[in-house]
Amino acid sequence: MREAGLPAAQVTRTNYRHAYWTVAQMIAHHTVNGCNLQPGDLLGMGTLSGPTPDQAGALLETTSGGKKPLALGNGETRTFIEDGDAVVIRAWAEKPGAARIGFGECRATVLPARSEA
């Protein structure tokens, strides 16, 4: 899609209200094994899926483990992330009467595995 100049396709959108554990519980679990988590570190906490199929938080769930391909706007399909795909994460918290806070955009492109030659 990028090569064709097409806009990115949103694959999922979820909400932290669906989280089972609190942030404090997840950080405690993460650090109890010796992780040196520091202020300012970005911590990806995994899939936050909602209760309905359209609120699936991961491509694995959206495609039923790769059995039902997801159609993108340009006709391509995905069952799993592929080499060259860009993954973009944006997050924020907002509440009426309070300032919206977030970390902006975290973007990476999936590179092919390196072969040992």
pLDDT string in tens for the chain (117-residue length): 777 788 888 887 778 888 888 888 988 988 888 888 888 887 777 778 888 877 888 888 888 889 999 888 888 888 988 898 888 888 888 889 999 988 788 889 999 998 876
Residue extents of the structural domains in the chain: 16-109
- Is the pTM for the entire model greater than 0.85? no
In this prediction, residue 11 carries a pLDDT of: 80
CA distance 43 to 26: 10
In this prediction, residue 99 carries a pLDDT of: 93
Strands 77-78 and 86-93: unpaired
